[in-house]
Chains A and B, each alone.
Chain A
Amino acid sequence: MKKINFYIVILTLLFVFTKCNYKLDEPVPQQSFTVDIAFNTPEGAQNAIIGVYGIIAGSTLYGESIQMASDLMGASDDFNWRGTFFAQRDLRNKNMVSDNGIATNTWITAYRAINASNSVLEKLDVITNPTDKNTARGELLFLRALCHFDLVRLYAQPWDAAGTNTGLGVPLMLVANNFNKVSRNSIAEVYAQVIQDLQNAESLLPATNNNRATSFAAKALLARVYLQQGNYTQALAKANDVISNGSYTLGSTVNAVFDGNNTPEAIFEIQQTSVNNAGQTNSGLATFYSNQNGIGRGDIEIRAEHLALYTMADARLTELFYVGTGNKPGEQACGKWKSPVKNYNIIRLAEMYLIRAEANFRNSTSTGATPLADINRIRNRAGLTNLATVTLNNILLERRVELCFEGHRLHDLKRLKQNIVILNGTTTVITTTFPYNSPKAVLPIPLREINVNSNLVQNPGY
């Protein structure tokens, strides 16, 4: 009897043990999957490309920070920061610390997007259709270049058209999952890689691509890159190519491109929906710009000095600015980023006209159209009459008001070697001035990166 009992015990235990052994191997991730599974079909690779767009559409890149960081630093004479967040306030005051949240998160997310691009670039062979494969490669190169370009503009000294540009740029990441402690490439190397990626993208991409990157988006971005370099000839060629050969037209009203999605003026936009967007409460362009009842924090208050740049008849004044009715009632707000669930425009046709006008003017050419014609085209759309003659200052002013609060101002000031100005107060206006190449107008390499990567050299002043 005793023996039998003992066997029962042993059998029970054995049963339990074996059963469990089988079970222990069972759990598999259900919301995510291993890398092998991710790339075992062409659709898998396509999903991973959408994933990269999803990353760049986030608030720390093109859903907010890339544009707003530039304007907070560069357009500090155009608006007041009325919010309580320090990271933004510091950018406007140009007294960032090296762990500034915007500088940190933008850096991290940009490299996450670059790595995600590289990860798919290395697995493209899974796409068998050659056209699809070319488009995929072109899109990934475009997205990688976009990130590298804005990183070098925000985290490094400006491109000097007359210099060698051997100063520290940002690390160029061209292979996937590189955990090494990489060093910063030179500014020149980064620009060269950006141009090379965009040139490749331009030749690989189709003219239309379902509201994603196209050959014209690559050309338009190239025009922007060349303009930043002061390479007017190339900038002109690319801008003119987009205007002449693309099927884009200026919106009938100044707000059409901001109020609608994927309008004929839009060359590249961040796609947003009510479900997937860059944020509606604490992040996203509209969160900070919008000052409407129930929408936005109204943290960006447009200064009177900016509004004074427009004439009263200018539709851009009447249609794109309004008196806030939301969180900060009574204050002037910018109407370009009113809705957090509409697309955010990244590149639009008006910028191409302005690049062509400026480049033609500087080169004394009239490729495509005269500078005067291009400027008048922009003015007419805003309900303004034609200018009779045009000067460089007319062109630059037109550029400033047309493209205001779209993230261009800082880079324009640096390119034009103009001072960066902070205006504070209303009756007694306090002016603080920084030279265009002030280290204070360059984002710090995030402290966390310096801490984990001894090969990264910090920017001066941090």
Chain B
Amino acid sequence: MNRAAARRRRSHFMVGLMGLAVVLAVLPLLLILGTLVAKGASSLNLAFFTKMPVPAGETGGGVMHAIVGTLMIVGTACLIGLPLGIGGGIYCAEYPGSKLATVTRFVSDVLNGTPSIVVGVFAWTWIVATQKHFSAFAGSVALAILMVPMVTRTTEEMIKLVPHSLREAALALGYSRWRTSLTVVVRTTLPGIVTGSLLAVARVAGETAPLLFTALGSQYLSFDLDQPMAALPLVVFTYATGPYEEWHQLAWATALVLILVVLVLSVAARLATRGKFRQNG
């Protein structure tokens, strides 16, 4: 009897310990978000979004150049990365047994685990070193390379959720293969592909390392992809590691904006597929 009680107590104790782990794990999230709001929110005003940075030591100024830069760099990365990633994902789902699909799947997993800084070095060697100048475009390419494997894998996983019977039904109606694939299979799984793409965008939007020696950063508003360009994560890095109190203040505010962008994208991505794919019948 006593032994049984001891065993039960031990069980309760261990479960309690794990409950404590949950608290410890959620704590950093709350702390980080809390500090960001506490330190960053007060600097968020209209000027922050519409003004350019002022010389070091002066107060005020904004990060409009970095907002524009992030939009341009990430937008260009999407133009390159999304078609490649979605196309590759459709290929892997449409021709699952083929050698190329197996290779693409495996290589995607390898690339997914590759440190983003390594991809940055690659983009530098490939583009910056050959062109002999830093450019936002090189940064976009680096981000696109990070996006492609992520999007490839999620697209394939999402398409695989579409029941095979649906594909057969379309083919039995006399649909050609491409028509079946695009108008029935891909169309049905579109919310899932959107989710995968949004998650990829959310991840690369916060990436700093691949931009350090490609887009480089800039103090000026620029629309020229062939020139260095500012981006929100680069601004956070520069201001956080700089010596001025005003810069630190701006770093917090910029980080708050960056994290809002990333979190909104991540949550939107999850909501896009909620409750989908429940085939009845």
Do these two chains interact?
A: no
